[in-house]
Amino acid sequence: MKLLRDFLGLIYPRICICCGNSLWKHEEIICNLCHYHLPRTGFHLEAENPVTRLFWGRVQVESGTAFLWFNKGSKVQMLIHQIKYKGRKDAGTWIGREYGCFLKESPLFSTVDIILPVPLHPKKLMQRGYNQSEQFAIGLSKPMNVPTYNNILYRTRPSETQTRKSRFRRWENVCDIFAVRHAEILEGKHVLVVDDVVTTGATLEAIVAVLACIPGIRVSVAAIAFTRV
């Protein structure tokens, strides 16, 4: 087995997806140095933080958080790019496991019953081959001991990319494209909706607005990274 791993390592070298340096045997996805310097937000310990403030006066969010700060040209941007566009599903699941260990210890998220990833439209899912938010959700699920449902939220139509849109344009782009099936599963539950990156919160706001119609539901949101507008 060791010989096989060494042989595969020659063909498919294990490198850090943040800095490109070779990984040691005990390292996974990113090297220890990049892992140490990840810009963690600590939002999961704050009832009021930049993520929750996005939704004030718009929709009712129980708690909100993001694991990392996102800045252009940063290692976090490289990490997100690999997860979203380079087929690194394993990195999405890994970062979910990392953050899930923090969320399970947070009083704000310890009562979560169900995790829902932000869905992709079927056409986008076919193009990409996977949903990066679902991979993040799968990673969160294990340490939090909470099930992930990937077939409850769905998109009724495709949307344009949110990049370079204002907050209002982002809201217009997604305000009526989400729907729910099997809503009875969510009744009376604390639901965690997860996405890859939060900027203005327009996508999550649209989903929370749809979920708010379900009796007794409480909705929290989480993302891999948060970017300042």
Task: Give the chain as a 3 state SS string.
Answer: CHHHHHHHHHHCCCECCCCCCECCCCCECECHHHHHCCCECCHHHCCCCHHHHCCCCCCCCCCEEEEEEECCCCHHHHHHHHHHHCCCHHHHHHHHHHHHHHHCCCCCCCCCCEEEECCCCHHHHHHHCCCHHHHHHHHHHHHHCCCECCCCEEECCCCCCCCCCCHHHHHHHHCCCEEECCHHHHCCCEEEEEEEEECCCHHHHHHHHHHCCCCCCEEEEEEEEEECC
Note the pTM of the prediction, 2 decimals. Answer: 0.88
Could you give all domains of the chain from N- to C-terminal order, each with its CATH number?
A: 40-227 (3.40.50.2020)
- Mean pLDDT estimate for the chain: 89
Kindly report, residue by residue over 72-87, the tens digit of the pLDDT: 999 999 999 999 999 9
Look at residue 161 in the predicted model and tell me its pLDDT.
57
Q: Evaluate if residue 209 carries a pLDDT over 60.
A: yes
Kindly report, residue by residue over 162-187, the tens digit of the pLDDT: 455 555 454 455 567 899 999 999 99
Mean local confidence (pLDDT), 33-49: 97
Look at residue 6 in the predicted model and tell me its pLDDT.
47
Mean local confidence (pLDDT), 44-55: 97
The residue that leads in pLDDT, 7 or 56, is: 56
Kindly report, residue by residue over 9-24, the tens digit of the pLDDT: 444 578 999 999 999 9
Q: Evaluate if residue 229 carries a pLDDT over 90.
A: no
